[in-house]
Structure 1
Amino acid sequence: MATIRKRELPSGKIVWQADYRDGGGKRRHKQFATKKAADDFLLTARGQVRSGTHVADSASITVDKASKLWLAQAEKNGRERATVARYKSTYELYIKPKFGATKLAALTSPAIQTFIDDLTGTMSASSLAKVHGALTSIYKHAVSRGHAAINPARDIQMPSATRDKKRPEMPTKDELRAILKHTPARWIPFVRTAMLTGMRASELRGIQWRDVDLDAGIVHVRRRVDRYNKFGPPKSDAGTRDIPISDSTVTMLKAWRKECPKGEHDLVFPNGEGNVEGHANLLHRMFWPVQIKAGVTVETEEKDEDGKPIVDAKYSLHALRHAAAALFIEQGFPPKKVQDLMGHASLAMTYDVYGYLFKSEDYDRAKIAEMETALLG
């Protein structure tokens, strides 16, 4: 039987103690400053005991312990090493200092909301979403294993990401031509394929010759390589796709195949020994130096001995993917086709990133004129 009684502590402080039995029949006690708070707790606790989800504060584990269990399960479930590393980094940097020692049952939605509100404006919206996502996932795992009764992070209000959203940076056609012109012959097949297919760098690094149908002119995207050079499937089901290539690209790849370093994985774009090429190597040894030679640069805040600004490469490899999407859209490919070619999980994602490129003021004005004519003659 659950009861509430008034108690005077040795310090003279008056508290209201809620007494009840948990799902295992063990007596539990919890003290509150007001009778209303004790009533509210018992009302919730009774419902949780009936549903078999109640976890007493004294039996609750800490957020830090729960995070370790969550991360271990993520590894066991086969999540990519880089993904688990990102989960752990997010937890260690932001969540652990604030809540690591707190018991799961003691952390409330208002406390989490205040935490999120305090972080808002100190980081990008996407980074903030990762922090919230990690905390939500820790509790989701804990609830499913009986370590927590509820997920207080689930209904937190997040700031709108609209203001934080920027249009993707991508090379112009002139910059693309300059990059190709200054790319060493050994890397032209890689850079040109990236420009014209929109494949992710991880997909290009993992593509094998059996994935390239040179007779049909089709590249079959079936795998990718992570930052640790481990093979795995594309980022999502939509990432498994077929991308057409032109006759000239087929000719280029046929010639490249004869020169391509051979290795156990039969990679299309391996390193000099035929093994997986590291992403960092592609940037430091090839793509960034190429841009500097091509004049595709931005000024840094540093200056050389003569006082002139030191320049740096303007784009990441991912910018070539954005450039390919822009070229697809310029050619008149409809949004759904662009989604398929880019391997986006949803059409909404395609519009979120590239929607502004589909707009045409002249086309819109023409359609408005047609509407006016149809209505007014």
Structure 2
Amino acid sequence: MATVRKRELPSGKIVWQADYRDGAGKRRSKQFAKRKEADDFLLTARGEVRAGVHVADSQSITISKAADLWIERAENEKLEASTIASYRQHRDIHIVPRIGAVKLSAATVPWVQSFADELAKTLSRAMVKKVLGSVSSIFTEAQRRGLAAQNPVSAVKVRMPKRDKGRPEMPTMAELRAILKATPEKHKPFIYTAAFTGLRASELRGLQWSDIDLDGGVLHVLRRADPYNKLGVPKSEAGTRTVPCGPMVISILRAWKEVCPKGELDLVFPNGAGNVESHANLLNRVFWPIQVEAGVTVSTGAKDEDGNPVLDAKYSLHALRHAAAAMWIDQGVTAKRIQVLMGHASIQQTFDRYGYLFEARDDDSAAAKAIEERLISA
């Protein structure tokens, strides 16, 4: 039978003790400073016992231990090395040093919200959201193992104001023309494919010749290369997709196939030995020098030995992906189709990224006029 009773401790302190039996029938108790707290706990505990998910405080493990079990699960499921490295970073830098000693059973929604607020004092909102995502995964794994009754993180939200999201950085049409014009012949296959298909750099690095239908004018995104140059499937189901290629890109790729370095992986954009090219090399040896040659740069604020300003390339490879999306939108491609072409998991992700490009299109007025005329003439 579950009860709440008043007790005087040897120290003279008065507490309210909640007594109950857990799912195995073992007597448990927990003390509180106020009766209402004891009553609320008992109500929750009895519900958890009935549901078969209750974990007594004495049996609860720390968040640090639970985090280790979470990493262990990721390793056993053979997640990508980069993903596991990111999980470890969250655990070792942001989670264990701050809340590692706290027991899972002691974590409440207000407590998690307080943790999120503390993180926000030193981290960006985007990073706070990622760290909370990891904490939520830790609780989910603990629930799978019967070590946690609930996931208090699920009720905590990190607001991401529109001003924090910002608009994706991409070259203007004039800058893009300059970049394409400055691209040497040997790098045209990669740069032109990136600019006109919108593939992620990892997808371009993992692209194989069997993925390209030169006669049909399309390429199939079936894999990607991770930061460790290992090939794997796209991170989400939406990442597997078919993307159209214009005749110019197809012509460039057809010629490139004859001289492309050969290797066992049959990659479209390999390194000189035919293996996966690193992201860093594509930036340092290809895209950044092209931008400097094209005059698409920003000043570093430093000067060289002759007193001339030192310039850096303005954009990352991801900027070409954004530029491709912007050109499709400018041609009237629908948001749903953009979602598919870009490999976004949801239409909301597409609107979050490119919604402003769909707004106030130049032909809006013309479309409204055409609708009026059609109705009136009918």
Partner of 2:257 in structure 1?
A: 257
Structure 1: distance between partners of 2:62 and 2:118: 22
Read off the aligned partner of 2:43 and give its amino acid letter. Answer: L
- Measured after TM superposition, the shift of residue 270 of structure 1 is 0.2
Structure 1: distance between partners of 2:374 and 2:243: 41
Structure 2: distance between partners of 1:212 and 1:376: 49
Partner-residue secondary structure (3-state), 2:220:
strand
Structure 2: distance between partners of 1:196 and 1:355: 20
Deviations, residues 201-220 of structure 1 (Å, cap 9, x unaligned): 11110111111111222211
1:361–1:3 Cα change, 3 Å: closer
Partner of 1:320 in structure 2?
A: 320
Partner of 1:17 in structure 2?
A: 17
- Measured after TM superposition, the shift of residue 239 of structure 1 is 1.6
Partner-residue secondary structure (3-state), 1:18:
strand
Show the 5 A alignment for 1:41-120. 41-120=41-120
Alignment partner of 1:239 is 2:239: yes
User: Structure 1 length as normaliser, TM-score?
Assistant: 0.93
Structure 2: distance between partners of 1:119 and 1:162: 20
Structure 2: distance between partners of 1:248 and 1:21: 74
- Measured after TM superposition, the shift of residue 193 of structure 1 is 0.6
1:14–1:307 Cα change, 3 Å: farther
Partner-residue secondary structure (3-state), 1:174:
helix
- Measured after TM superposition, the shift of residue 347 of structure 1 is 2.3
- Measured after TM superposition, the shift of residue 306 of structure 1 is 4.8
Deviations, residues 192-249 of structure 1 (Å, cap 9, x unaligned): 1101111111111011111111122221111111111111112322222222222222
Q: Does the aligned pair in 2 maintain the 1:4–1:19 contact within 8 Å? A: yes
Partner of 1:35 in structure 2?
A: 35
Partner of 2:248 in structure 1?
A: 248
Structure 2: distance between partners of 1:24 and 1:303: 73
Partner-residue secondary structure (3-state), 1:220:
strand
Structure 1: distance between partners of 2:134 and 2:216: 44
Structure 1: distance between partners of 2:255 and 2:227: 29
- Measured after TM superposition, the shift of residue 168 of structure 1 is 0.7
Structure 2: distance between partners of 1:70 and 1:345: 24
Partner of 2:173 in structure 1?
A: 173
1:371–1:247 Cα change, 3 Å: closer
Read off the aligned partner of 1:182 and give its amino acid letter. Answer: A
Q: Once superposed, what is the RMSD of the aligned Cα atoms?
A: 2.2
Q: Does the aligned pair in 2 maintain the 1:194–1:204 contact within 8 Å? A: yes
- Measured after TM superposition, the shift of residue 371 of structure 1 is 7.1
The worse-fitting range, judged by mean Cα deviation, of 271-280 and 65-74 is 65-74
- Measured after TM superposition, the shift of residue 2 of structure 1 is 2.4
Read off the aligned partner of 2:146 and give its amino acid letter. Answer: G
Q: Does the aligned pair in 2 maintain the 1:64–1:96 contact within 8 Å? A: yes
Q: Does the aligned pair in 2 maintain the 1:126–1:161 contact within 8 Å? A: no
- Measured after TM superposition, the shift of residue 361 of structure 1 is 5.0
Partner of 2:7 in structure 1?
A: 7
- Measured after TM superposition, the shift of residue 301 of structure 1 is 3.4
Structure 2: distance between partners of 1:309 and 1:202: 33
1:307–1:118 Cα change, 3 Å: farther
Partner-residue secondary structure (3-state), 1:163:
helix
Read off the aligned partner of 2:53 and give its amino acid letter. Answer: T
Read off the aligned partner of 1:214 and give its amino acid letter. Answer: L
Structure 2: distance between partners of 1:204 and 1:376: 51
- Measured after TM superposition, the shift of residue 131 of structure 1 is 1.4
Corresponding residue pairs, total: 377
Show the 5 A alignment for 1:105-184. 105-120=105-120, 122-184=122-184
Read off the aligned partner of 2:337 and give its amino acid letter. Answer: K
Q: Does the aligned pair in 2 maintain the 1:218–1:242 contact within 8 Å? A: yes
Q: Does the aligned pair in 2 maintain the 1:22–1:28 contact within 8 Å? A: yes
Q: Does the aligned pair in 1 maintain the 2:54–2:148 contact within 8 Å? A: yes
Partner of 1:347 in structure 2?
A: 347
Partner of 1:360 in structure 2?
A: 360
User: Structure 2 length as normaliser, TM-score?
Assistant: 0.93
Structure 1: distance between partners of 2:321 and 2:121: 29
Gaps of 5+ in 1: none
